[in-house]
Amino acid sequence: MRDRMGSALPFSPNVPTGAILDAVIPVGGASEVPIARSVVDSTRFNRELAFPYELRAEDFQLARQDAYDFFFDVNSALTGRGLGRFDDMLRPAAMSGILSDMLTASMAKHARALTENQYFNGHPDLIVTGKYPNDSAQAGEHGIEIKTTRKRGGAVDTHGAREQWMCVFVYKVDNETQPIADRVPMEFTEVYLAYVTTDDFRRNPRGELGTRTATLHRDGVLKLRQGWVYR
């Protein structure tokens, strides 16, 4: 969090959830637009969940706050120049891709036993540190796949059914409130983490030019939701 002079303020995990009105940073003479920053509500975590790979609830909290801080910094710079919010510029697929990459990097930074998979488009996104040569695995078995979606409950398309630890971050973006200056920032509303198998998926038929995907079926989604991290 930053004050009006741009100085860093200590992050407090006990700040209530939602958006709080933060610093207004005018740049180049542009009119001031109040930019809000989402913060994580630490009381909504599932403290009874048994996390794999030495993960902690705090790892998820810090990774999400990293994303919130990034969007606050970028949107402060954009609106200070009279431009629109980053949230409103991105198409849904682009937003999900950016958030997935951002959360993967942040989770790797805060996790004790996991690191980013250095193999381009390798699976899973997070792998056990030192388990694979050069921390690079095309198709590893030890780690966690990170997904993001706007769908409540965590049902998300994947590129194929796999037996894996799957972590799904559900988020929402305000693209409707008018005037635009009153829109609340992007917020993660749910996080799920569960071990799923190929039997938990249904295959989604696509046309000849489409990409074949797989999605957790009804029972698979129920299994995922049993492993709720935050809601």
Instruction: Give me the amino acid identity at 56.
Output: R
If you average pLDDT over every residue of the chain, what do you get? 86
Sheet hosting strand 164-172, strand order edge to edge: 114-116, 126-128, 143-149, 164-172, 187-196, 228-230
Which range, of 180-184, 189-193, 216-220, averages the lowest pLDDT? 180-184
Which range, of 63-77, 186-200, 202-216, 217-231, averages the lowest pLDDT? 202-216
Q: How far is CA 222 from the centre of its chain?
A: 20
Per-residue pLDDT at 20 exceeds 50: no
Per-residue pLDDT at 4 exceeds 80: no
| pLDDT digits 0-9 by tens, 103-116 | 999 999 999 999 99
At 12 the pLDDT is 43
Q: Are 62 and 106 in contact (CB under 8 A)?
A: yes
Q: What is the pTM of this model?
A: 0.83
C-alpha angle with apex 8: 57 to 35, nearest 5 degrees? 85
How many helices (H) does the chain have, and how many strands (E)? 4, 11
Tokens 């709720």 label which residue? 228
Position 204 confidence tier, pLDDT thresholds 50, 70, 90: confident
At 210 the pLDDT is 64
- DSSP, collapsed to helix, strand or coil, labels residue 143 as strand
Tokens 């913060």 label which residue? 39
H/E stretch holding 68 reads helix 57-80
CA-wise closest residue to 25 among 8, 11, 6, 7 = 6
